[in-house]
Amino acid sequence: MAAGKAQVWYTDFVIGVIIFSIVVFTYFYYVEHTAYSDDTLDAALLSEAKTITNTLVTKGYPVGWTAANVTNVGLTDGNYRINMTKLANFNSWGYEERRGYLHTTKDYHFHIEYINGSVFNEKCADPGAGCIQWNTSQHLVQSTRLLIYDEEIVRLVLYVYQKP
């Protein structure tokens, strides 16, 4: 009689594990295959772009960072004036390395331009040089910050986008 009770318990346990597995599988399948709405995706991209540009207009961390010890990239002296040494270090990295230091998994396009629109520090202008064609995305957001470079006001422009 004891053997019969154990078998019933075993069957109940197996059925419970199967039901639990189906529920877990269904949940993760649903989460993985649920598409973001366009508005939600654009809002997330804009939030990420603002976070990156907010970091870029700081001193960075550590304050006197170099390419060897940087944790957070900041391109200014803390007073919105571009530090040319920091900008040169930033420019010396490749696209993927810059993306890692910007703490993003999204694709981006970064440049600095004068108020008249002439660009003087465009990174990833050439997709053939390891950069991704950035102006073909349906989900493209822009974040702009005003800075001072060589006693002139310039715009730091960052586009963050989701590849189509």
Instruction: Give me the residue spans of the domains in the chain.
Output: 1-34, 38-162
pLDDT above 60: residue 26? yes
pLDDT above 80: residue 110? yes
The sheet with strand 119-123 has its strands ordered as 119-123, 107-114, 152-162, 139-149
User: pLDDT band at 161, cuts 50/70/90?
Assistant: confident
**pTM, whole model, 2 decimals?**
0.69
How far apart (Å, rounded) are the C-alpha atoms in residues 45 and 54?
Answer: 14
Q: Degrees (nearest 5) of the Cα angle 42, 45, 49?
A: 135
Looking at residue 108, its pLDDT comes to: 87
